[in-house]
Amino acid sequence: MLTSDIVQQVRRLQLTTGRQVADVLAGAYHSVFKGRGMEFDEVRPYVPGDDVRTIDWNVTARTGETFVKRFVEERELTVMLLVDISPSQDFGSANRSKREAAVELSALLAFSAIQNQDKVGLLLFHGETEEYIPPRSGQKHALRVVREVLARGQDDSPTALSPGNPFGLPRAVLHRFRRLLSRRRTQVNRATNISDALEFCRRVLPRKVVLFLISDFLDDDYIDMLRHCNRRHDVICALVSDQRELELPPAGLITLQDAETGATRTIDSRSAAFRQLAAEHGQERINKLESSLRASKVDLLKIDAAQPVIEPLLAFFRMRERRIRR
């Protein structure tokens, strides 16, 4: 059941991102993602200035008047959103988490697709496929897509797993119950598995789609599957990151925990050498991702979780449009 908080968040996203789509993104999206080609619409009388190559000689011969063929773009596309909901997406050092930035990006893409009469679908994944919504068109369907991304993240929150005490249970029983829920959560395969999500799409999407893979890409051994998927579909990787993944503050002794494996490590963040090593490791991971995607001819969209999504998305659309015109 949807909580009133989720409903309010969906409405707020619809208001803010819907305005951005109408004012800024709709035209850029249309220019970048063309239809599958041109299809015949009708014939009409020739007027001076028409391209002689469009003359329909059969109709012209039958009627004795010159007619030309009229073609229209076969516009309808399918946009598929693959959204990573693994625990690492909950990290955020500024005003919001990576998951919240991914939700905003998903909303902008979904509403842009619907604005252009395209279909949009959703796949939520972590270590396995969590939920699949087949592509459809319409405003209500776009709202459902956004709602599911929002709701799934909140369902996994600690408050969702650790309810209050509505039945007046003894404290010891309640504590044991919460520990059981926590243990059950850790046993579920939550580590990111991008290959599995791409393989699922390969099975259920027989026709070409525009596929946005939204993740922090904290995973290994998925490039071959990504390359294979890109042969059939137009795959675009959206890297959602946080500045603290590249720059640690000098906060003294801190304990870090891997959100997906639960492993912990205590470090001394006052060490300039350690902070530099951590920054180099983070940047090396991004450089390796960029190099692998470039070799696979897959576009990369970079999103900073602390910043608005609209600017880098619009810049990405413009880059794609310039490349198409060359």
For residue 122, being part of any structural domain is answered with: yes
Helical residues (DSSP H) of the chain, grouped into ranges: 4-20, 26-32, 57-63, 98-115, 139-155, 158-161, 171-187, 194-204, 223-232, 272-295, 310-325
Q: Which residues are bridge partners to 82 per DSSP? A: 123, 213
Q: What span, in angstroms and rounded, lies between the C-alpha atoms of 26 and 52?
A: 33
Nearest C-alpha neighbor of 80 from the set 216, 231, 213: 213
Residues of the chain with pLDDT under 50: 1, 155-169, 173-174, 177-178, 180-188
Q: Do 127 and 274 have their domain in common?
A: yes
What local confidence, expressed as pLDDT, does residue 160 receive? Answer: 38
* Structural domain containing residue 304: 4-34+75-158+170-325
| 104 neighbors 78 (Cβ within 8 angstroms) | no
With H, G, I as helix, E, B as strand and everything else as coil, classify residue 111. helix
Question: Token match 């880059």: residue?
Answer: 319
In a domain, 64, yes or no: yes
pLDDT of residue 153: 55
Residues 249 and 270 sit within 8 Å (Cβ to Cβ): no
Can you read off the two tokens belonging to residue 91?
């990290």
b/e per residue 298-323 (b: at least 16 CB within 10 A): bbbbebbbbeebbebbbebbeebbee
Residues 115 and 197 in one domain: yes
Residue 164 counted as domain residue: no
- C-alpha span between 110 and 133 (Å, rounded): 13
Whether residues 174 and 68 share a domain: the answer is no
Task: Tell me which residue of 159, 160, 177 sits closest to 168, measured CA to CA.
Answer: 177
Token pair for 256: 């870090």
Contact 236, 212 (CB under 8 A): yes
With respect to residue 281, please indicate whether it lies within any of the assigned structural domains: yes
R_g (Cα) of the chain, nearest Å: 24
Q: How far, in whole angstroms, is CA 182 from its chain's centroid?
A: 28
Task: Express the helix, strand and coil content of the chain in percent, nearest 5 each.
Answer: 50, 20, 30
CA angle 115, 311, 108 (to 5 degrees): 30
Q: Structure tokens of 319?
A: 């880059």
- Token match 């029983």: residue? 173
User: Could you give the angle at the alpha carbon of 323 between the alpha carbons of 105 and 41, nearest 5°?
Assistant: 85
Indicate whether 122 and 184 sit together in one domain. yes
Supply the pLDDT for residue 74: 55
Residues 254 and 269 in one domain: yes
Cβ(165)–Cβ(230) below 8 Å: no
pLDDT tens digit string along 19-34? 677 666 766 777 677 6
CB 180 within 8 A of CB 109: no
Per-residue pLDDT at 275: 87
Three-state secondary structure call for residue 308: coil
* pLDDT at site 8: 67
pTM: 0.74
If asked whether residues 50 and 149 sit together in one domain, one would say: no
Q: What does the pLDDT read at residue 262?
A: 77
Q: Are residues 121 and 83 in the same domain?
A: yes
The number of distinct structural domains making up the chain is 2
User: Do 48 and 150 share a domain, yes or no?
Assistant: no
